[in-house]
Amino acid sequence: MTRALLGMTRYDVRDRVLAEQICRACVDGLDVHGAAISLLTGSPSRETLWASDPTAELLEDLQFTLNEGACMQAASTGSPVLVPNLNDSTDAQRWPVFAAAVAEQTDALALFALPLQWGTINLGVLDLYRRTPGGLSGDQWRDAISAADVAALMMLGVRTEPGDGDAHGDGDGWLDPASSARAEVHQATGMVLVQLDVGAEVALARMRAHAFVEQRLLIDVARDVVSRKLRFTDDMA
């Protein structure tokens, strides 16, 4: 499943195309009936990037219209929201209007909202639904979270892509979770965002750009930042 996602080419990808590929891979590889990815950061820019079918689309629309729902909660808390049975009153109580609308207007009975999260950066929410109630099994959960992790890496990767976007492969090691998830990368992000007075995403983009120009791995650039051998300034390459 993860291999299928990583095998996708990264060049010339825009958020929407990437969202489509991720959703399709989820519907094919996970045991769900549909998937959608939405952006929820900031109220004016709420939108569905891609939905696999009308039900998936409607689930997103309902949340935007009603201003509540599993997907919203996942985005605002940064935690997954897993609803194995939408008819279960305990769960439904969290968003009563949304739950009622879903019951009336769709055939979805189980919902799993996974935020695509990188620390404080929310890149969207991956929503999966099923027409039958029931939770995700251990394996399915593993696959779903892997999909969300890889999706978050890829979407953030696209946004912080160094160079001209031409396929140079994973030049800075970004797509290798073992490298990109290292504490030094996060610590360096924090340091660079202060150095440049920018947000975390831009700080990361700048580090990746530097790695690209210098033909180095991101993790090595991060280590140099943390050990104070390297400082970022506005007039750097």
Partner 1 sequence: MSRAVSGREQLVSRAFIGLADTLVDDYDMIELLDRLVGYSAELLAADAAGIVLGDAKGTLRVVASSSEDAELMELLQLQNDEGPCLECYHTATPVSVPDLDDAARRWPGFTAAVRARGAFRSVHALPLRLRQESIGALNLFHSRPGPLPEVDLALGQALADVATIGILQERAIRQGEVVNEQLQTALNSRVVIEQAKGVIAERAGLPMDVAFDRLRRYARSSSQKLSDVARSLVERDLDPDLMLTATRASPPALPRRPGTPTR
Enumerate binding residues for partner 1 (CB under 8 A).
77-84, 117-120, 135-136, 141-142, 145-146, 181, 183, 186-195, 199-200, 226, 228
> Shortest Cβ distance from residue 23 to partner 1 (Å)?
19
CB nearer partner 1, residue 83 or residue 101: 83
Q: Which residues contact 237 (CB under 8 A, 6 or more apart)?
A: 209, 210, 213
Give the ranges where the chain is alpha helix by DSSP (H): 2-6, 15-29, 54-66, 70-77, 89-92, 96-105, 138-159, 177-180, 183-196, 200-214, 218-226
DSSP structure class, residue 233: -
Tokens of 221: 């650039």
Q: Which is nearer to partner 1, 17 or 145 (CB)?
A: 145
For partner 1, the closer of residues 9 and 43 by Cβ is 43
How far apart are CB 120 and partner 1 at their closest, in Å?
5
Taking the least distance from each CB to partner 1, the nearer of 8 and 202 is: 202
Query: Closest separation between CB of residue 222 and partner 1, Å?
Result: 10
Q: What is the 8-class DSSP label of residue 94?
A: T
CB of 166 to partner 1, least distance (A): 29
CB of 230 to partner 1, least distance (A): 12
Nearer to partner 1, 77 or 105 (CB): 77
Which residue from 88, 96, 90, 136 is spatially nearest to 113, judged by alpha carbons? 136
| Rounded Cα distance, 181 and 183, in Å | 6
